[in-house]
């Protein structure tokens, strides 16, 4: 028997704890994570291998197996609700703490935000082999999926450095997106992961990571997301993978997407106060020919008032169907054509603020534009105009009735930080 005796597609995950949360992990046989690593945590399936990294002691406890698929808020009171993306675990034999966990994970290029690939999982599992057991028997034992009743932890942490055959460069099973910490988002690719999201050949397709970021910031597993102008269905695909329900419409759904409902975004067939997030990447004017439907708003020039009047009808509908306090994300870009600039973003934003409070405004780097060629760059320099380099993502909140609005002036006591002096080299 070899390592192959483990079932195919072996994968594992690292969960983290601190000195104060470790005891609860062991007592409940439950690992949990917050939103930052929630997407990876929710991908854990029954039988996956798991390791617990104590960030204070820098010990990596293993081997555990997931007793069942991950679940959101399985035990709501665990860790006082701080880590709701949870997995029930079972120990495989005696639990061994490995020293220098950070160095080990760094040298394997393992991140907590993504599943760990088969080869890296096997390399880590090898480190937990009982010293007298031949390697083949160890993997055979792991393949039997036997777990241990009750938790027994080796008191003396084990070193690993001389034992490992570490394969450094290999990619994770699926490199997961990360939550963007700033208001400048730049996604080099339209999609991520092993399956496509939307269709990158669709004119005006949205970067999937943008939707992923909104989904993870503003919704929880099981929430309902609506995209009333969903084109090739990027929102639908992201939501399905992240365990959110989604209702997606378009005035002219692509024939290959039977899961997109034909509908005009100015009248959405859903009740009031019903949904947890709305995402819209609308036409920016009449610069793209999406389809032949006469009701396509992409046939109206953004240089006309009519364009904003029609989009305002969509805004009203988004406002009507959203639950109070929930978020609408709207992506749009400005226009410069035939020597005329139109601030499409500002004009739309003015309409949005009639109904919504602003959460934030995010700048999305424009990639893969048809004008992204040397010829156009040269024209822009020569004839003194600019190619569009960014879009706006307006993140808007439906106000909660009687909630104090942000418009009122406030006293802020700022903390002023001094810049550290630059040391002369």
Ligand X SMILES: C[S@@+](CC[C@H](N)C(=O)[O-])C[C@H]1O[C@@H](n2cnc3c(N)ncnc32)[C@H](O)[C@@H]1O
Q: Which residues of 273-310 are buried (b: 16+ CB within 10 A; e: fewer)?
A: eebbbbbbbbbbbbeeebbeeeebbbbbebeeeebbeb
Residue 192 touches ligand X, criterion: CB under 6 A: no
CB of 129 to ligand X, least distance (A): 47
CB of 71 to ligand X, least distance (A): 29
- How far apart are the C-alpha atoms of 357 and 324, rounded to whole Å? 11
**Can you read off the two tokens belonging to residue 378?**
């040269």
Strand segments, DSSP code E, in 18-175 are: 30-33, 49-54, 59-66, 71-72, 85-98
Between 241 and 281, name the residue whose CB sits nearer to ligand X: 281
Q: Judging by DSSP bridges, how do beta strands 49-54 and 12-17 pair with one another?
A: parallel
Q: Which residues of 117-136 are buried (b: 16+ CB within 10 A; e: fewer)?
A: bbebbbbbbbbbbeeeeeee
Between 71 and 196, name the residue whose CB sits nearer to ligand X: 196
User: At which residue do the structure tokens 């009449």 appear?
Assistant: 286
- How far apart are the C-alpha atoms of 282 and 332, rounded to whole Å? 7
CB of 249 to ligand X, least distance (A): 6
Between 107 and 291, name the residue whose CB sits nearer to ligand X: 291
CB of 294 to ligand X, least distance (A): 10
Which of these segments, 58-66, 145-153, 290-298, 321-329, binds ligand X (CB under 6 A)?
290-298
**Can you read off the two tokens belonging to residue 49?**
């291998």
CB of 360 to ligand X, least distance (A): 20
Site residues (CB under 6 A) for ligand X, limited to 211-240: 228-232, 234
Residue 290 touches ligand X, criterion: CB under 6 A: yes
Q: Which three-class secondary structure state does DSSP give residue 266?
A: coil
CB of 233 to ligand X, least distance (A): 6
Site residues (CB under 6 A) for ligand X, limited to 263-282: 264-266, 281-282
Residue 296 touches ligand X, criterion: CB under 6 A: yes
CA distances from 120 to 11, 102, 123, 285 (A): 9, 15, 5, 49
Q: Which three-class secondary structure state does DSSP give residue 328?
A: strand
Q: Which three-class secondary structure state does DSSP give residue 70?
A: coil
Between 16 and 248, name the residue whose CB sits nearer to ligand X: 248
CB of 266 to ligand X, least distance (A): 6
Between 125 and 297, name the residue whose CB sits nearer to ligand X: 297
Residue 392 touches ligand X, criterion: CB under 6 A: no
Site residues (CB under 6 A) for ligand X, limited to 81-100: none
Between 10 and 260, name the residue whose CB sits nearer to ligand X: 260
- How far apart are the C-alpha atoms of 106 and 124, rounded to whole Å? 12
* Count of residues in contact with ligand X, rule CB under 6 A: 26
CB of 392 to ligand X, least distance (A): 14
- How far apart are the C-alpha atoms of 150 and 152, rounded to whole Å? 7
Between 27 and 189, name the residue whose CB sits nearer to ligand X: 189
CB of 337 to ligand X, least distance (A): 17
User: CB of 311 within 8 A of CB of 330?
Assistant: no
User: CB of 307 within 8 A of CB of 258?
Assistant: no
User: CB of 288 within 8 A of CB of 261?
Assistant: no
Which residue is nearest to ligand X, using beta carbons?
A: 231
Closest CA to 34 of 115, 114, 113: 113
**Among residues 298, 329, 333, 345, which is the contact residue for ligand X, using CB under 6 A?**
298
Site string for ligand X, 316-345 (x = CB under 6 A): ------------------------------
Between 157 and 204, name the residue whose CB sits nearer to ligand X: 204
Q: H-helix or E-strand containing 346?
A: helix 344-352
Between 62 and 198, name the residue whose CB sits nearer to ligand X: 198
Residue 291 touches ligand X, criterion: CB under 6 A: yes
User: CB of 224 within 8 A of CB of 233?
Assistant: no
CB of 201 to ligand X, least distance (A): 10
User: CB of 127 within 8 A of CB of 60?
Assistant: no
Contacting positions for ligand X (CB under 6 A): 198, 202, 204-206, 228-232, 234, 250-252, 264-266, 281-283, 290-291, 295-298
């Amino acid at each position: 028997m070899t390592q192959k005796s483990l079932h195919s597609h072996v994968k594992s995950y690292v969960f983290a704890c601190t000195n104060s949360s470790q005891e609860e992990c062991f007592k409940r046989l439950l690992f949990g994570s917050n939103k930052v690593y929630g997407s990876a945590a929710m991908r854990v399936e029954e039988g996956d291998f798991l390791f617990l990294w104590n960030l204070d002691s820098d010990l990596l406890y293993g081997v555990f197996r997931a007793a069942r698929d991950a679940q959101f808020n399985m035990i709501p009171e665990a860790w006082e609700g701080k880590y709701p993306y949870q997995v029930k675990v079972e120990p495989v034999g005696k639990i061994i703490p490995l020293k220098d966990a950070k160095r080990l994970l760094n040298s394997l290029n393992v991140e907590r935000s993504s599943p760990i690939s088969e080869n890296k999982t096997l390399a880590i599992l090898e480190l937990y082999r009982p010293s007298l057991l031949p390697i083949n028997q160890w993997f055979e034992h792991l393949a039997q999926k036997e777990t241990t009743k009750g938790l027994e932890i080796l008191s003396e942490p084990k070193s690993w450095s001389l034992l490992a055959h570490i394969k450094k460069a290999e990619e994770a099973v699926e490199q997961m997106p990360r939550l963007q910490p700033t208001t400048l988002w730049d996604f080099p690719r339209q999609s991520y992961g092993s399956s496509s999201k939307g269709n990158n050949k669709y004119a005006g397709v949205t970067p999937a990571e943008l939707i992923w970021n909104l989904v993870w910031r503003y919704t929880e597993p099981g929430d309902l997301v609506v995209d009333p102008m969903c084109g090739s269905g990027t929102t639908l695909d992201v939501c399905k993978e992240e365990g959110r329900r989604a209702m997606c419409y378009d005035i002219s759904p692509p024939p290959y997407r039977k899961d997109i409902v034909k509908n005009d975004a100015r009248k959405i067939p859903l009740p009031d106060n019903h949904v947890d997030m709305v995402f819209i990447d609308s036409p920016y004017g009449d610069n793209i020919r999406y389809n032949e439907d006469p009701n396509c708003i992409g046939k109206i020039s953004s240089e006309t008032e009519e364009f904003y009047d029609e989009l305002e009808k969509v805004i009203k509908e988004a406002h009507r169907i959203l639950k109070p306090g929930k978020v609408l994300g709207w992506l749009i870009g400005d226009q410069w054509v035939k020597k005329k600039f139109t601030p499409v973003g500002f004009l739309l934003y003015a309409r949005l603020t009639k109904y919504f409070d602003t959460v934030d405004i995010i700048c999305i780097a424009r990639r893969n534009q048809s004008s992204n060629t040397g010829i156009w760059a040269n024209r822009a320099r020569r004839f003194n105009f600019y190619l569009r380099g960014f879009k706006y993502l307006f993140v808007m909140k439906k106000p909660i009735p009687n909630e104090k609005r942000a418009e009122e002036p406030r006293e802020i006591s700022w903390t002023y930080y001094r810049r550290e002096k630059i040391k002369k080299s």
